[in-house]
Structure 1
């Protein structure tokens, strides 16, 4: 196996870059700079330190916090030692964090200062106060654990239609398999070269966050880590470090371009901006291309596919291609898609159905969720996405609606059932449905449609306040409508499409 060309695990990739480019900068975080030799040594120390605590290959190691260089080192240390890294979205409420760490079976939590008060039964290591001293006290000798491509590497939690978070188990192979395929097919906008600079600003608990961090180590990039998206810092670092690549959700692109510092900014180093989570409005795209002067590409995927499986390339973001700009793009090389009906039979070209994906990036499983696995994984390599879509005669995929009703607001995934579960405990709520409605800034926002108990007149503020005590703020309704009864089908299922219809009237699809 040619490790330096096509490493099959992230630990192998890091070792290869440490050997080939030991002095090249791997990580920047504020004033802290780490080269590849130190990055590789730290990975050994973290892996050995976890082993010294009694952890074994396959054990779950949890992290709660924002992006940092130490968080990236922790992920690669887990990869080196064969542990499964479980980054938890820092914006979640304490009960949600508690559920995830217990579900994963994690008995150690690396936690950013400011979040250490979350309930946790095991050991906590507070990052800024304790991590470096702990890491540097460990042996940096080679790690003996044999890690293979099919071993699990990440476990990311995504809420399901039942409202209970599910652990998506992703292997090293899921994250490494596409790189040689992309290289062979010159998919340059999703395949950086060693030394290329990239900003990491997307949340670490998402595949766009931790997946991008691991991908930078796989490619040998210089990763500039931002704790969270900060438009002023992004503009400054693009200029100072000649940033070549950046990934942002459309809402963040609009914030970036609206910032006062953007008027006189130097964006000349940027070769490409990739975006995802929602299509980009045409006016924003035109403004971005004009002001940033770089190539744009859309990425479509999901946690269960280790991120991107479909892409709309730069050539389709040019004048005259407005029709396909509404699409998610075409499958990447090595990826297949199918549109099927309820019996999983393929439908004719141009007809709507559920999107199925077959890809080397498809997850291993949902952690301890056999019923969900049976629903989602067909057994012959296909993954049911829960998205409704159309493939046209040219092979472009158009997402039309969400079979699973997921709402994407500012790049964050919100599942109606989870929000509804939080609202049902309100003393004056008899029935409730949660839908996504269009929003110019965030793409979609969360709306609760409430049926009040007889004799009660709950206020919008009381409904929203009740939710804020129980779930993360980004999941809470931003508005509340009150109606007499929710529309349901004969089996009692809420007809969300009927509820959404008035808000999406005039839109070409029911996602924004």
Structure 2
């Protein structure tokens, strides 16, 4: 018998722990037995609508327990789910739907203006809207027998579109192997303690499900029989209440959200003894925020690094490397997870010496199978030996810790010298009046490009540009320090928290 595929884990939990809570969403609770039956009904509804194994079906909506029923129902029917970023503009949504060609689109009514059944798909809505079929009615009208048409272990079950910071987004095809293998094949006592899951865990599923951080976080909880608390959108002002109400044991958030939660007037007086770990990604955590968060939450902290094409996390900076006094390792994204190989390569693909900046490459069962309908792009990303080139620049130290330099395309070339924005940002982050910062290259007649810092000051503070530049020059080489500093109230970020430097560069070019 082959290895268990995505839907099999729900079947097994439904058989072994039928009454255990699988998902909670806005007061609605589903046991594993109910979740399994709902997924089977969704599968049969899809089959009845003409969906066949290998077909795509799409979801255009905010987080919901219905999303996970839809995903696992699609898996039982052998279909591939395509969650669509609802923040995209109508032409961008149209591109993703045109590229994936779904048979069915389940959507929140607020996004119906971006859909048109004339494009060959049927629309089902999550909440009442006109004469369109309602998801719950559509689901419950179908039979409850499990069709068991699951795709094979190495066939796609999820198709996530990359953020598309350059050009059109590409659909990364993730298989059951991509999503499950690292935990299926790694003994629990070998997996880092912060990355172990159990049926006792209560996870807050708050990152958007159109991103691997949302779908993956929810899937990890379901894979291990935990309880998932789904929230429609991440609202850092509500996190405190949610943590306490449901006694969350694991949460994922970006550092900027962590700061808002820590600054809540009730945070310092709340007992967080139930919270085991806060996992974060998207950017390093400033030292002052780390000290504040340790004082407020008293739990373990782990930074995670990964990407859509790797089905999420492939390295982690463990709690023991988070030192309130600061250390060099806190500038890293940690070490590869068990089962993950990583190396730093040059343009020719050859591995570079430790400490040398190059492109980060990775090989593991988590890698995508490829980009949907893009064989050339797939061949550029993954070589014949299975190594995926991430597009991220970085280096590995003698102990195997990975340090991000930055996206290669974001590298600044000033006066013939290469400058990686993350290094400059880390220097400025340590300034007590800096809340957030992005560094970009802007056209310069003398240097080709000049380093510019765009700073979000700490509330109530007004740092001087000259003081920030001097601060940076004390910590990094003078040619890396910003030539100019601008200020603003917030920085553009994608749902995973990564700064969208392309948007900033466009403003200055």
Q: Distance in 2 between matches of 1:147 and 1:98?
A: 27
Stretches of structure 1 lacking an aligned partner (at least 5 in a row): 408-434, 450-482, 489-497
The answer for the alignment partner of 1:258 in structure 2 is 263
Is the 8 Å Cα contact of residues 327 and 399 (structure 1) preserved in structure 2?
yes
Displacement after TM superposition at 1:8 (Å):
2.6
Displacement after TM superposition at 1:406 (Å):
9.7
The answer for the alignment partner of 2:307 in structure 1 is 302
Select the residue among 151, 165, 181 that pairs with 1:147. Answer: 151
Q: Does 1:388 align with 2:393?
A: yes
Select the residue among 155, 165, 168 that pairs with 2:169. Answer: 165
Q: Does 1:231 align with 2:236?
A: yes
Task: Determine helix, strand or coil for the equivalent of 2:392.
Answer: strand
- Give per-residue Cα distances to partners, 1:40-89, cap 9 Å, x unaligned: 00010001110000101111111011101111211111122211110111
Is the 8 Å Cα contact of residues 194 and 219 (structure 1) preserved in structure 2?
yes
The answer for the alignment partner of 2:58 in structure 1 is 62
Is the 8 Å Cα contact of residues 247 and 274 (structure 2) preserved in structure 1?
yes
Are the structure 2 counterparts of residues 356 and 186 from structure 1 closer, same or farther at C-alpha, using a change threshold of 3 Å?
closer
The answer for the alignment partner of 2:293 in structure 1 is 288
Q: Distance in 1 between matches of 2:439 and 2:104?
A: 34
Task: Determine helix, strand or coil for the equivalent of 2:110.
Answer: coil
Q: Does 1:76 align with 2:84?
A: no
Is the 8 Å Cα contact of residues 254 and 280 (structure 2) preserved in structure 1?
yes
Task: Determine helix, strand or coil for the equivalent of 2:284.
Answer: coil
The answer for the alignment partner of 1:276 in structure 2 is 281
Displacement after TM superposition at 1:184 (Å):
4.0
Select the residue among 360, 367, 377 that pairs with 2:365. Answer: 360
Displacement after TM superposition at 1:36 (Å):
0.4
Task: Tell me the TM-score normalised to structure 1 length.
Answer: 0.80
Q: Distance in 2 between matches of 1:224 and 1:174?
A: 24
Are the structure 2 counterparts of residues 499 and 76 from structure 1 closer, same or farther at C-alpha, using a change threshold of 3 Å?
farther
Displacement after TM superposition at 1:279 (Å):
1.1
Q: Does 1:108 align with 2:107?
A: no
The answer for the alignment partner of 2:463 in structure 1 is none
Is the 8 Å Cα contact of residues 191 and 337 (structure 2) preserved in structure 1?
no
Are the structure 2 counterparts of residues 161 and 319 from structure 1 closer, same or farther at C-alpha, using a change threshold of 3 Å?
closer
Select the residue among 115, 120, 138 that pairs with 1:119. Answer: 115
Are the structure 2 counterparts of residues 443 and 20 from structure 1 closer, same or farther at C-alpha, using a change threshold of 3 Å?
farther
Q: Distance in 1 between matches of 2:27 and 2:170?
A: 37
Are the structure 2 counterparts of residues 445 and 56 from structure 1 closer, same or farther at C-alpha, using a change threshold of 3 Å?
farther
The answer for the alignment partner of 2:84 in structure 1 is 88
Higher RCO, Cα 8 Å, sep 6+ = 1
Displacement after TM superposition at 1:255 (Å):
1.7
The answer for the alignment partner of 2:28 in structure 1 is 32
The answer for the alignment partner of 2:375 in structure 1 is 370
The answer for the alignment partner of 1:199 in structure 2 is 204
Are the structure 2 counterparts of residues 77 and 159 from structure 1 closer, same or farther at C-alpha, using a change threshold of 3 Å?
same
Query: What does 1:103-502 align with in structure 2 at a 5 Å threshold?
Result: 103-120=99-116, 121=119, 122-129=121-128, 130-160=134-164, 162-180=166-184, 181=186, 183-319=188-324, 322-405=327-410, 443=436, 498-500=449-451
Displacement after TM superposition at 1:447 (Å):
7.4
- Matched residue count: 439
Displacement after TM superposition at 1:286 (Å):
1.3
Is the 8 Å Cα contact of residues 170 and 371 (structure 2) preserved in structure 1?
yes
Task: Determine helix, strand or coil for the equivalent of 1:135.
Answer: helix
Q: Distance in 1 between matches of 2:438 and 2:109?
A: 30
- Give per-residue Cα distances to partners, 1:259-304, cap 9 Å, x unaligned: 2342433322101111111111111111111110100011001100
Superposed CA RMSD: 2.7
- Give per-residue Cα distances to partners, 1:12-64, cap 9 Å, x unaligned: 00000011111011110111011100000001000111000010111111101
Q: Distance in 2 between matches of 1:266 and 1:140?
A: 43
Shifted more, 182-191 versus 145-154: the winner is 182-191
Is the 8 Å Cα contact of residues 61 and 111 (structure 2) preserved in structure 1?
yes
Shifted more, 350-359 versus 250-259: the winner is 250-259
Stretches of structure 2 lacking an aligned partner (at least 5 in a row): 129-133, 413-420, 456-468, 482-497, 500-509
Are the structure 2 counterparts of residues 174 and 290 from structure 1 closer, same or farther at C-alpha, using a change threshold of 3 Å?
same
Is the 8 Å Cα contact of residues 193 and 221 (structure 1) preserved in structure 2?
yes
